[in-house]
Chain A
Amino acid sequence: MIIYGIKRRLITGILLSLMAALGFGLSAVLVKAGMSSVSVKTATVISLISSTVVTMIVAFLLHYEEIFSLSPVAFIWFILAGLITFLGGRFLNFHAISLVGASKASAVVSATPLFAAILAVIFLDENIGVMLGIGTAMIVFGITLVVIQE
């Protein structure tokens, strides 16, 4: 019975992870297809409207009580995260997609964990291990391959 429960959680986790990968993967292609007659600024705002609706529904369904007990300081951090991730990150990501295409931009943007690891080493005093070194070298080589096409 316990093993059956663990298996079920694992399969659910895998399916949800696949949904996440599919969502992230298709997002760039859909925006590239829709951006032919519109500026990056407008595309960013429209995509954020639908993103807000979906995430708000999920958040309210699963964390209704938590939302009403949030501290005011939390909202300052949410604003900071919103500015960095969406006014900065998504806008530049869409700009990149419009200039070099969804496939090349996605390959470069997917190097985010490398930057996160570098920032963690600088600000959180995390150590640089062999795996991080190998991963960094591979990401740099992979991106170079994507960038240098001609």
Chain B
Amino acid sequence: MNETAKKITYYGFLFAVCAAFLYALSALVGKKITDDFSSPMVASAFSILFGLVATGSVFFRTVSKEARYLSGRSWVLIGLSGCASALGVSGWYLALNVTQVVVVAPIVAVYPLITILAASLFLRGIEKVTKKTVAGAIIVVIGVLFVGFGT
């Protein structure tokens, strides 16, 4: 691996760790909201709405330039990605409404394995899924289950 590729990989993982930290921080904020103000579904919907307003305002220039020349395929795929994560959030909260967290959490925790399976099926020409990635993801999922039940 050359220096540039190493740097890209380094930043990629750094961003992933920072994203995980921010998602965890948002879980703390979410706990405060659901304890004091609203149901989780309403909190998610309005958080996403305000997230859109903030992100749209900060990146307005880039988005208005690129959106005009964006292919239909990209619009559809990225739009579906947003729908998929929204279905994830909705499904998570609706599941917690009808059954216990001990049933919901282990099932939802396997999502990185679904990503790996889907990536190996649909992203063949774009990214390579290695045995180490699969093994690492399985260990992370088991670790997440331990953390979940431990707290």
**A117: chain B residues within 8 A (beta carbon):** 147, 150-151
Contacts of A148 in B (CB 8 A): 132
Partner of B112, one of A18, A107, A131, A138: A107
Please name all residues of chain A whose beta carbon is closer than 8 Å to the beta carbon of B74 when the two chains form the complex: 34-38
In the complex formed, the residue of A with least CB distance to B144 is: A113
Is residue A62 within 8 Å, beta carbon to beta carbon, of the partner chain? yes
Interface string of A52-88 (1 = CB under 8 A from B): 1111101110110011001101110111111111111
Q: Mark A22-52, 1 if CB is under 8 A from B, else 0.
A: 1111111111111111110111111111111
- B90's nearest neighbour on chain A, judged by CB, is A58
> CB within 8 Å of A: which of B84-114?
84-92, 94-95, 98-100, 103-104, 107-114
Measured between beta carbons, the chain A residues less than 8 angstroms from B115 are 24-26, 28-29, 102-103, 106-107
CB distance from B103 to the nearest CB of A (A): 6
B70→A63 contact, CB < 8 A: no
Are B151 and A48 neighbours in the complex by a CB distance under 8 Å? no
Residues of B within 8 A of A132 (CB): 146-147, 150-151
B33 near A26: Cβ-Cβ < 8 Å: no
Return B88 CB to nearest CB of chain A, in Å: 3
Chain A interface category by residue count: 35 or more
Q: Is the CB of A106 within 8 A of B136?
A: no
Which residues of chain A have C-beta atoms less than 8 A from B136's C-beta? 107, 142-146
B20 to chain A, nearest CB (A): 5
Beyond A62-B41, A91-B55, whether A29 also contacts B144 by CB under 8 A is: no
Chain B residue nearest to A144 in the complex (CB): B136
Task: Give complex CA distance A78, B117 in Å.
Answer: 34
- A-B pairs with beta carbons under 8 Å apart, 17 shown: A21-B88, A25-B114, A41-B62, A45-B56, A51-B89, A58-B86, A90-B51, A96-B19, A100-B12, A109-B23, A110-B111, A112-B23, A113-B144, A115-B24, A119-B28, A135-B147, A139-B147
- Interface residues of A, Cβ cutoff 8 Å to B: 9-10, 12-14, 16-39, 41-56, 58-60, 62-63, 66-67, 70-71, 73-75, 77-93, 95-96, 98-120, 123-124, 126, 129-150
Q: A34-B74, A39-B62, A108-B13 are in contact. List 13 more A-B contacts (CB 8 A).
A: A17-B103, A34-B80, A47-B85, A50-B80, A50-B81, A78-B43, A95-B12, A96-B15, A96-B19, A112-B20, A114-B20, A129-B151, A138-B139
